[in-house]
């Protein structure tokens, strides 16, 4: 099997320190946590940022701090969110792309946020504008898939020339109200994507370990981190993002899969230009 790409979602845009005291909040904490996860084996970091009160949003100077911090220390791939959470709506969600990240998320449909207090827009006109902006900035979309209908939307955008192959699918399974984090669901989704498409899976909450094992076993890639799971095991909070990455590395070893560094990950995902100059 090809090397395993481990992505780490270090903080997210939904829960805060009420869920776990170990969640990084400040730019410095987020950057340090990402670098620790890199040293543990993560090739990609999925970045949200927050204000001083822990409220998520698009704060370009904070994104830039994280990107510069990592760029000075390693070649980790930075994947910025286009849904920071909170009150950022409409085309204002594109602001993170002003920094031309190598990767950025594209949530491929309209969704209800996990907290139930807002709707995340994903209409086809909106997604066309978002995909078009990514083409302008040279950013590869990470296609976040919460149910099978989102795959069909991505294939339509590809047919329209707004998404370029290889399409990179990130399955997010186990979120409330969406596709469950069970093996049969993942297998069904895999049958609907184009051949040789790179893909990754994240299990939310209690689905995390099972989906990590499935991703490793089936030849895909995996995402872990405190955005997706705050518990390491039942009743025991994870102490850091690096701890969750280290477990994925150990599981990969049990299945005989080497772990990809950022350079190998760029090759596997078609990020041919490499990291942006700083």
The ranges assigned to domains in the chain are: 6-269
Beta bridge partners of 80: 47, 104
pLDDT confidence tier of residue 1, bands split at 50, 70 and 90? confident
Mean pLDDT of 71-75: 97
List the CATH code of the domain at 6-269.
Answer: 3.20.20.70
- pLDDT at residue 276 above 60? no
Q: What is the CA radius of gyration of the chain?
A: 17
Residue-wise pLDDT tens digits, 199-243: 999 999 999 999 999 999 999 999 999 999 999 999 999 999 999
What pLDDT sits at residue 88?
A: 75
Average pLDDT of the residues of the chain: 94
pTM (2 d.p.): 0.95
What pLDDT sits at residue 176?
A: 87
Distances, alpha carbon 102 to alpha carbons 10, 54, 214, in Å: 17, 26, 26
SS3 93: helix
SS3 172: strand
pLDDT confidence tier of residue 120, bands split at 50, 70 and 90? confident
Contact (CB, 8 A) for 194 and 169: no
CA angle 268, 269, 271 (to 5 degrees): 110
Residue ranges of E strands in 134-276: 140-145, 168-173, 199-203, 221-224, 231-233, 236-237
């Amino acid at each position: 099997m090809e090397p395993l790409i481990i992505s780490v979602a270090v903080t997210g845009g939904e829960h805060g320190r009420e869920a776990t005291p170990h969640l990084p909040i400040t730019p410095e904490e987020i950057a340090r946590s990402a670098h620790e996860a890199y040293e543990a084996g993560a090739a990609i970091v999925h970045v949200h940022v927050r204000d001083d009160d822990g409220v998520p949003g698009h704060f370009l100077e904070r994104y830039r701090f994280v990107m510069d911090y990592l760029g000075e220390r390693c070649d980790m791939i930075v994947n910025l969110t286009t849904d920071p959470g909170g009150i950022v709506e409409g085309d204002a969600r594109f602001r993170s792309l002003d920094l031309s990240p190598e990767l950025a998320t594209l949530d491929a449909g309209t969704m209800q946020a996990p907290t139930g207090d807002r709707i995340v827009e994903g209409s086809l006109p909106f997604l066309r504008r978002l995909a078009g902006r990514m083409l302008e900035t040279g950013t590869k979309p990470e296609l976040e898939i919460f149910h099978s209908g989102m795959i069909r939307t991505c294939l339509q955008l590809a047919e329209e020339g707004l998404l370029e192959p290889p399409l990179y699918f990130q399955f997010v399974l186990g979120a409330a109200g969406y596709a469950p984090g069970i093996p049969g669901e993942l297998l069904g989704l895999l049958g609907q994507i184009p051949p040789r498409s790179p893909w990754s899976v994240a299990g939310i909450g209690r689905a995390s370990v099972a989906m990590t094992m499935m991703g490793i076993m089936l030849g895909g890639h995996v995402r872990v981190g405190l955005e997706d799971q705050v518990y390491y095991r039942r009743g025991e909070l994870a102490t850091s993002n690096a701890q969750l990455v280290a477990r994925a590395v150990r599981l990969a070893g049990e299945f005989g899969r080497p772990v990809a560094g950022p350079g190998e990950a760029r090759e596997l995902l078609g990020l041919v230009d490499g990291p942006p100059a700083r």
